[in-house]
Amino acid sequence: MDRIIIFHAKWVLFFTLCCISMKFRVMIRGQQVPCLFFMGDSLSDNGNNNMRITVAKANYQPYGIDYPAGPTGRFSNKKNIPDYLAQSLGFANPVPPFATATGTTVQKGVNYASGAAGILDDTGGALGDVISLNRQLLNHQITIARLLLIRGPFGVTSYLNKCLYAVNMGSNDYVNNYLLPQYYPSSKLFTPDKFAQRLILQYSRQLKSLYKSGARKVAVFGLGLLGCIPQVLATTPANASGCVDYINNYVQLFNNRLKPLVDDLNTNLPGAKFTYINITSISLSFNLSALGITVFNAPCCIVSSGGQCVPNQIPCSDRDQYIFYDNYHPTDIINQATAARSYNAISPLDASPFDISQLAQQ
């Protein structure tokens, strides 16, 4: 109990120093890496799905209701985690989506993330044409070809060695694959343990491919508590924990393999600086009262049966009091908090072997 009290005291002190009216103030000390690349799903997507034939898109109101440019494809009321990480790393502007990145802007980095995408190629396919991690890796090859034209044939690899990559994948391999037996056979073919192993084997190949393309500083995000999201709670009875425990247990089978994978990559790939960002630890450690959160398991916007915001409906007015904006995705204030803890770890459990601020300095 004493350790919990001490930890909460540190957390409250952190917010006292860093927040005004529960809003983060990000200290910019100049751009810390030459470029920044994101791969992932709807937690990171900032517009790549907008023109694709898929229902997994967020380019309509009330998404972006608090974002200066309005709806952009971010699955949030305002910013997402990549926006806040770019800000913390000293970037003056958000990293553009691959779909619209043109000219010399790619030298600062590209966001390849796609809502509903997964580690597996078939994940999210029931929702339409989404960009799997394998396809995001191919898009990165297109960016590298552009960099060769801009910077010439010499030095592109060494340039990419200095850049920072963040990869946040795997949630949809559960919520838009394994947990949807009516669309995907994976739960009939694999036990939860075997499925987690299948994901890790594929992920290992993909992260090694990223390394071969020049990436050296790579933050790999673990999965959050998928058994606690409103969409799951709306369809599956919760346990005494308030969440669907068996789903969280499935996810933990994946997370338990992910940190050893990161350790293995660092051991066996010369010059590799991979790090594991423990989203489960981070989310469980939030002092929600310090953040001003009062609504934990309901969405801020009116949602469709698919869990996304119904177009053009008015969301809740007190958005900073909600964890979830729709039935899947966090509000801006949770994205801020998650990015802050990923960038500057408070607990040794948050990141291993280093947080993103330390990764940038490697």
Q: Is 329 tagged catalytic?
A: yes
Catalytic member of 83, 173, 320, 326: 326
Contact 352, 276 (CB under 8 A): yes
Residue written as tokens 């540190």? 10
Is 173 a residue of the active site? no
Residue of 83, 132, 171, 329 marked catalytic: 329
**Four-residue CA torsion sign, 13, 18, 20, 21:** negative
Which candidate in 42, 76, 281, 283 is catalytic? 42
What is the spatial distance between Cα 143 and Cα 106, in angstroms, rounded to a whole number? Answer: 7
Tokens of 136: 């995001």
Pure H helices in 81-131: 81-88
Q: Is 54 helix (H, G, I), strand (E, B) or coil?
A: strand
Instruction: State yes or no: is 8 an active-site residue.
Output: no
- Tell me the C-alpha distance between 239 and 41, whole Å: 28
Specify the DSSP element, H or E, that contains 268. helix 245-268
DSSP 317-344: S-GGGEEESSSSSB-HHHHHHHHHHHHS
Q: For 193-252, give the DSSP string.
A: HHHHHHHHHHHHHHHHHHHHTT--EEEEE----GGGSHHHHTTS---TTSS-HHHHHHHH
CA distance 166 to 38: 5
Q: Which two tokens stand for residue 300?
A: 């801020």
- Please give the positions annotated as active site: 42, 326, 329
